[in-house]
Structure 1
Amino acid sequence: MSEQEPVAIIHERLSKYPGERYRDGWEELWNRGDALPWDRGFPNPALEDTLTQGRALLGKPVETTENGIKRKKALVPGCGRGVDVLLLASFGYDAYGLEYSASAIEVCKQEEEKNADKYPVRDVQIGRGSVTFVQGDFFEDDWLEKIGVSRNGFDLVYDYTFFCALDPSMRPKWALRHTQLLAPAPRGNLICLEFPTHKDPLAPGPPFAAPSDAYMEHLSYPGEEIPYDDKGRVKANPLRPASDNGMERVSFWQPERTHDKGKDATGEVRDRVSVWRLR
């Protein structure tokens, strides 16, 4: 079976769950045990490079307080099999992986049990952070209560294949939710690994087309409806003043490494990394 065939099957199954019902569609896929063709089984190397080289931008995964060492909290919404969560913990963060499906959480726990040795501690002085997988709806607060984290309690949030997995109608709510979860600047950093940036915006998803200007508009004006043209492209207004409630992009670059799906036929990297903070 070619990769296009399972993608088409997933599109057909998820098409039964439009808009906010997407959660039930993903839960069905996990419950059925369907293979997700874009799952590479290991973290995107662009995240590893960002954590390794971006200490000046992101700060250390721990901080020293009068009560001793305190680990920063990192969240991966829509964490899949949890590989990014395991990577963040290896760098020293207390890492949390969020999934809507109970079946997905079981897959995460199995991944941790079988492959934890693939994520060695990166700095022996900092050590390894804890790993927590939690079932819940990204847009609700009950899962925060389960893990004892308040709103605006995450020092780092990593979004890779979550934005592009959502129906585009959910993007205003997605952006607003990040402002509710991320710690105030400069402590809190949202890392977006933007993918797929060059997909036809009218092509079916997931993954839905996720060009950089879509991230820019939605995160700059969280919760607001952003206009799109008849070709599915964001209609940006460069003269529009920044929103006081919006997020600010503090860094943006083309990563040296990424998964093969983030490259074109010549091997050129099309993915982008952006880092955001609350204004």
Structure 2
Amino acid sequence: MATQNQDRLRTHFSSTPDKEHNNRWDDLWRDSTFLPWDRGHANPALIDLLQERGRPLSSPDPNPSLGAPPPNSESAGYASLAGPLRDDKKRRRVLVPGCGKGYDVALFAAHGYDAYGLEVSSHAAEAAKGYLKDADKGPMEGEYKVADEKIGKGVMNVVCGDFFEDGWLADVEGWEGDEGFDIIYDITSTGGVLICLEFPTHKPASSGGPPWSLPPLVHTELLKQPGEDISYDDQGVVIKTDREETDNALVKIAHYTPRRTHDAGVIKGLVRDCVSMWRHKVDCPEEQRWH
């Protein structure tokens, strides 16, 4: 059953065409009195993933979401989440699309990565810049302190732009060197890793959004053939197919139900969110894939 906030958010967007949705997000951030997606801190699932250095604790409980992994899933792919420093001691770079107030940006920087938040709303970008000036005093302040004093904290930057356009890349330091991003949280350069927090997995497809229903099977189908349409049934539920991976496919290297997540992802005592990790097919040997 939809909550009052979900109904209000859906109504806010349903009255305008898709091409105007960026402006509608900006309207919400400008007013800043109705931000139901803002939980006040980074998702505990991401906190655990970084603290465990790529080997997070997975839930022992079954997750009934469509396409969810079995309990206590393990995978060699966890090791693909590289540390913050490259062999040449330069910091690895992380992109957080739709960063909101920048909680995840602060978290990645605390673990030594150079972190970039991207927001389509100029008012959201300004809110994030303000938050990051004093992130250590946030409600989860212990998670935003430097994780390793020898490595130190990475930079925290926020840029404004549309993820599907390239203009914002001019504001990413060093981009002209074509270094790309090593990690994207929410496709990525050669050798990089895509981390997806799959939420809401429990929401009926027919209920609309935002947030839109996102069972794990959606990522599986989309990333077999990036850029191509996927199939849904007459209820709006994604259909599992046997279509082949294209050369530019992303392949799954890890998939698990975390022990912790935001309260919105816990339904009747069960964590329903999932975390999946992906690499480009050409960069991923078979032994690193999730099976």
Find the counterpart in structure 1 of residue 30 from structure 2. 31
The equivalences for 1:9-24 within 5 A come to 9-24=8-23
Q: Is the 8 A contact 1:17 1:24 kept in 2?
A: no
Other-structure match for 1:83? 103
85-94 vs 115-124, greater mean Cα deviation: 115-124
Q: Does 1:140 align with 2:165?
A: yes
The residue identity in structure 1 corresponding to 2:196 is C
Matched, 1:42 2:44: no
Give a deviation string over 1:195-252, Cα, whole Å, max 9, x none: 11111001021111000000111122111011111111112212x2111111111110
- Post-superposition offset of 1:21: 3.0
Deviation at 1:261, TM superposition (A): 0.9
Shift, 1:152, TM fit: 6.8
Are 1:234 and 2:238 an aligned pair? yes
Q: How many Å separate the matches in 2 of 1:139 and 1:269?
A: 31
Q: How many residue pairs get matched?
A: 249
Mapped to 1, the partners of 2:17 and 2:203 lie a distance apart of: 20
Whether contact under 8 Å (1:198, 1:211) holds in the other structure is yes
Q: Which runs of 5+ in 1 are unaligned?
A: 160-177
Alignment check: 8 A CA contact 1:16 1:25 kept: no
2:128 to 108, 127, 135: 108
* Deviation digits for residues 136-180 of structure 1 (CA, Å, limit 9, x no counterpart): 011011100122425670000110xxxxxxxxxxxxxxxxxx2xx
Query: Residue 237 of structure 2: SS of its match in structure 1?
Result: coil
TM superposition shift of 1:115: 2.7
1:109-258 equivalent positions in 2, closer than 5 A: 109-117=129-137, 118=141, 119-148=144-173, 149=175, 153-159=180-186, 178=187, 182-185=188-191, 188-238=192-242, 240-258=243-261
Find the partner of 2:83 among 37, 60, 77.
Answer: 60
Please tell me the residue identity of whatever aligns with 1:156: I
Q: Provide the C-alpha distance between the structure 2 equivalents of 1:46 and 1:278, rounded to a whole number of angstroms.
A: 23
SS at match of 1:202: helix
Residues 37-69 of structure 1 show CA distances to partners (whole Å, capped at 9, x for unaligned) of 13210000100111122443301111231xxx2
State the distance in 1 between where 2:18 and 2:225 align.
Answer: 20
- Give the secondary structure class of the aligned counterpart of 1:124: coil
Task: State the match for 2:74 in structure 1.
Answer: none
Q: Deviations over 1:66-124 (max 9, x none)?
A: xxx20000010001111000000000000000001111011102211233342100011
* Separation of aligned partners in 2, 1:247 and 1:204: 27
Q: Is this contact kept in 1: 2:106–2:135, CA < 8 A?
A: no
Query: TM (normalized to structure 2)?
Result: 0.81
**C-alpha distance in structure 2 between counterparts of 1:50 and 1:210, whole Å:** 21
Closer, same or farther: CA 51–79 of 1 in aligned 2, 3 Å: same
**What letter is aligned with 1:209?**
S
Q: Does 1:259 align with 2:262?
A: yes
Secondary structure of 1:234's counterpart equals: coil
Identity of aligned residues (%): 43
Q: Give the TM-score of the pair, scaled to structure 1.
A: 0.85
**RMSD over aligned Cα atoms:** 1.6
The 1:17–1:112 alpha-carbon spacing in structure 2 relative to 1, beyond 3 Å, is same
Q: SS at 2:267's partner residue? A: coil
Per-residue displacement from partner, 1:5-42 (whole Å, max 9, x unpaired)? Answer: 33322221111333343212211211222322132100
